Structure 1
């Protein structure tokens, strides 16, 4: 089957488009490989393209005026970014970069805005994802305020695990530190806690999920509600 066949589409939003809209939009999609660290858009920078991942994980990062950074949310094959483009925005408040390498499709901003105006199913799916993503960001704030770093790390690893195939996630301690907005020694300590519980195995540049259910129980209420919101609004991850 060719990639034009919608049944082969790995992005959750594009796969759910009405067939006629998918056929209309497909010609505007450019396939692209995305290495780890690839910057999709800079904070307060113009949006040139909208990205629909098929694999890998993108991080949406808040950047302060003095250069401090912390992850606000993440997305993968279930969504798109920058989300502001979905409501006609032309500038991204956040920096968006690839946390885990992958591939996907991108559309120019002009093609995206044209599709939003001419394809109601496309516009509706983008709006639903924006609502789901807003829920995720709100729980990131809740977790940062109310939970210790080991619980926050458990939540973050579960979210990453949702967006990859298999149980291995290629991540360094430095990258996790940046994403969680904490110092590297705190990440190392938290990883040791999760390893001690046999939830994960941490090696240089690689984390393996060993006990998904145990990790979910450890994360508690910090994980799960945004994922339920996505399933309610859009469908299975």
Structure 2
């Protein structure tokens, strides 16, 4: 399955806040992250933004091409810097036609990603901010190398569609519990198991869905 893919993949660096897709613009390439995290962000008319999903080394950006849709509905940008493998949309279409195992795998990944997006919507509507923040930090931790996350409270607030003071309060609760350390835009995960306990069931639900569809958990 990989033999035909490798010559068509180009290593690139994912820079912080780098825009990869804009709503309605043609998809020119797909991305397979190695380290780092890409946010799928919905933009509202009032200027508010909300993260509806994330992609890391468990998946790829550009899965809509699988359905023959060559324009994204939402904005996609790098949330945590890292590296990725880039493939042109033309090469990707050729592989979908010629590589049946690759296509089948991506169909299953598409279903897993859809589950993550749906669970995120349910979580944002029904769970408290402390649980949601814990879930979000776990998802970020799964997709980076190490325990350090370079994230400002302003950016987290934007992704969780809330206000910065609310993030400050929730982060302090997690810090006092010894789960994280936060200072100057840097969050360190201190107690992974404790953070999982502080999260809602949504994190585990998505992990189980990925495992059942792809045979592996997201966590590294």
Length-normalised TM-score, structure 1: 0.88
Post-superposition shift, 1:66? Answer: 4.1
Q: How does 1:1-237 map to 2 (within 5 A)?
A: 18=1, 22-236=2-216, 237=218
| C-alpha separation in 2, matches of 1:67 and 1:213 | 36
How far 1:86 moved relative to its partner? 2.4
Unpaired runs of 5+ in structure 1?
1-17
Provide, for residues 175-229 of structure 1, a one-character-per-residue CA deviation record: whole Å limited to 9, x for no partner: 1111111111111111011112111111112111111111111113131111111
Unaligned runs of 5+ in 2: none
Deviations 1:76-116 (A, max 9, x none): 01100122122221000011100000011111111111111
User: Secondary structure, in 3 states, of the residue corresponding to 1:81?
Assistant: coil
Flag as ranges the 4+ runs of structure 1 deviating above 3 A: none
What is the CA RMSD across the aligned residues, in angstroms? 1.2
User: Partner of 1:202: helix, strand, or coil?
Assistant: strand
How far apart, CA to CA, are the structure 1 residues paired with 2:33 and 2:66?
A: 15
Question: In the alignment, is the contact (CA less than 8 A) between 1:88 and 1:113 conserved in 2?
Answer: no
Contact in 2 for aligned 1:58/1:99 (Cα 8 Å): yes
Q: Number of aligned pairs?
A: 217
1:36 CA drift (Å): 0.5
